[in-house]
Amino acid sequence: MQKDIAENLQEGFSEVIERYLEKYFSIYNENVPGGFHGRIINEVERNVLSVTLKHTNMNQIKAAKILGINRNTLRKKMSLYEIGEDK
């Protein structure tokens, strides 16, 4: 049951990304700004970290386990994206 749910979520996520990318390329045509891959990866990663931390009430151990990364890696990424820092 959980595998079916995970597969459905993955398909949905892929479709959303594909629609976004198609729209992005249609806007920029052949003039897509450089560094596109890095911008997309950073944007997605920041949101994945933020939402996971939100749903674990900022519990870094739980979030790292859900994400499948080391807690120290999570902390470095939180610092990189300024997640959880007072502004």
Dump pLDDT digits (tens) for 14-58: 888 898 889 988 998 888 888 889 988 999 999 999 999 999 999
Residue pair 80/42 in contact by the 8 Å Cβ criterion: no
Dump pLDDT digits (tens) for 61-73: 999 999 999 999 9
Q: Name the CA dihedral angle for 34, 36, 39, 45, rounded to a multiple of 10 degrees.
A: -160
- The parent domain of residue 64 ranges over 36-87
pTM for the full predicted model: 0.76
Instruction: Looking at the structure, tell me whether residues 60 and 44 fall in a common domain.
Output: yes
Which sign, positive or negative, has the C-alpha torsion 80, 41, 65, 49?
A: positive
Residue 31's pLDDT is 86
Measure the CA–CA gap between 28 and 30, rounded to whole angstroms.
6
CATH number at residue 51: 1.10.10.60
